[in-house]
Amino acid sequence: MNLFSITKETLESDKPKDECAIFGIYNCEDAANFTYLGLYSQQHRGQESSGIVSSDGVHLYRYAGMGLVSNIFTESKMSELQGRNAIGHNRYSTTGASFLRNAQPLRVESHLGPISLAHNGNLVNSWDLRNRMEREGSIFQTTIDSEVIVHLMAKCKEENILDALGLALREIKGAYSLLILTPRYLIAVRDPNGFRPLVMGKRTDGSVVFASETCAFDITDTNYIRDVEPGEMVVVDHTGLKSYYPFQEAKPSLCIFEYIYFARPDSYIFNESVYKVRKQLGKQLARELPVEADVVIPVPDSANIAALGYSEESGIPYENGLIRSHYIGRTFIEPDQKIRDFGAKIKYNVVREVVDGKRVVIVDDSIMRGTTSRKIIKMLRLAGAKEVHMRISAPPTVSPCYYGIDIPTHKELIAATHTLDEIKKYLRVESIAYLTVDSMHKAVAEHKGGGFCDACFTANYPVEFGSQDQGNQKSLFQEYAVEES
């Protein structure tokens, strides 16, 4: 029998793809186990592969695999990850294909000793640098942009790993939150624009912890201290913790889409609660784009909090009109597609009692291609919805992202290629409305001042593409050290 498959990627095609998650811990008796927990709690940021590298102060031990954290790390594999220090990574590929050889953290040997690196973000000049180094004789083992960093470090003549890292990072451009593990150091770095989040905490046993989001702190009993600042390098070793600012200052460009879609609502990123910001976006949507209706429902799960904000501000009751399945694997069906809109139905199901005979406001955080939204609205109609009004708690997505979010190309984005009226007709709704860029910033500014990257909504990219001029950098870490308790 001829079969074809519907994968999770197919079902998620109307959403931007997840980024990556990083986690690191220094001087903890169960370092690898805590790293496992930190990665498990950040699984939403990447589901293609996961890896952990640990250190006993002499050697680095690595294990990585394809798939989910809970399926990769068996008890026997965890027992091989020795030592009191560890870093881990969950991957969704933005640069480089989905193969095991591209799983992070990377581990390399060099004249600086063994180095392991975990990267969240995307480098916009990595191919220029890679091509240059390949012509000079470098041999790359992966196709990911992160490997450029360790090659730049290895080619550096500096004997001090901190200076080598600083010089390497001076050559790259783009978004990076990094964790680097050596037998001596755990190093956390955030790019000067601060695109991707990176938080720092401490456990009661004195161990220092880093993660992409604070939800990883909750599961590991870690007390949040602060964010790693844009352009900051935090170095932890047996003597304690030091902070450096070795890079030229840049305008903050925090990814606003983290608040809208990516981060878990129970996390704090960029020094603010994701839950509060997401709810405020929904309230702003209701104030500026009201509609007479009987019920407000979200597209679960990322729009749940924005829909709650819309409901509270508008006074329209909030209900769970769509139920999402969280157990989507690979499903095989016959090619005549006897079940219409099967791809949407396997992920969502409508609660008929909530929508039947009702004027429905359906709140979502974004629309990429519009294909899944159209199918969901059709399902609401078949369940008896009298009217459907769509509200988006963000501006129209009109541009791809080059800083670590896998947003479709310009020609695939429905808002970039169609008018609002055309989108309304395509989705078959009574009305559709988005927040404006100014309204989005107004909502977020109630919790955090400006300095956000909104390039996916405006095409105003804060970091230009292409090779970066090399400067003369020497002894970076003898001048900028700041002791911390």
Please give the positions annotated as active site. 20
387-392 and 431-434 strand pairing: parallel
Nearest to 193 by CA among 452, 465, 483: 452
Neighbours of 59 (CB within 10 A): 11
The span from the CA of 458 to the CA of 461, in Å, is 8
Residue with tokens 């429902």: 297
Instruction: State the DSSP string of 141-210.
Output: S-SSTTHHHHHHHHH---SSHHHHHHHHHHH--EEEEEEEE-SS-EEEEE-TT--S--EEEE-TTS-EEE
Question: In sequence order, what DSSP letters do the residues of 338-376 get, joined into one string?
Answer: -STTHHHHHHEEE-HHHHTT-EEEEEES--SSSHHHHHH
Amino acid at the residue 46? G
Q: Distance between CA atoms of 115 and 28, rounded to whole angstroms?
A: 19
**What count of other Cβ atoms lies within 10 Å of the Cβ of residue 102?**
22
Q: Which residues pair with 22 in a beta bridge?
A: 89
Q: How far apart are CA 47 and CA 103, in angstroms?
A: 11
Give me the torsion for CA of 360, 454, 273, 20, rounded to 10°. Answer: 100
Give me 281's structure tokens: 């976006």
How far apart (Å, rounded) are the C-alpha atoms in residues 276 and 47?
26
Q: Answer for the pair 320, 349: CB distance below 8 angstroms, yes or no.
A: no
Determine the 3-state secondary structure of 440 from DSSP. Answer: helix
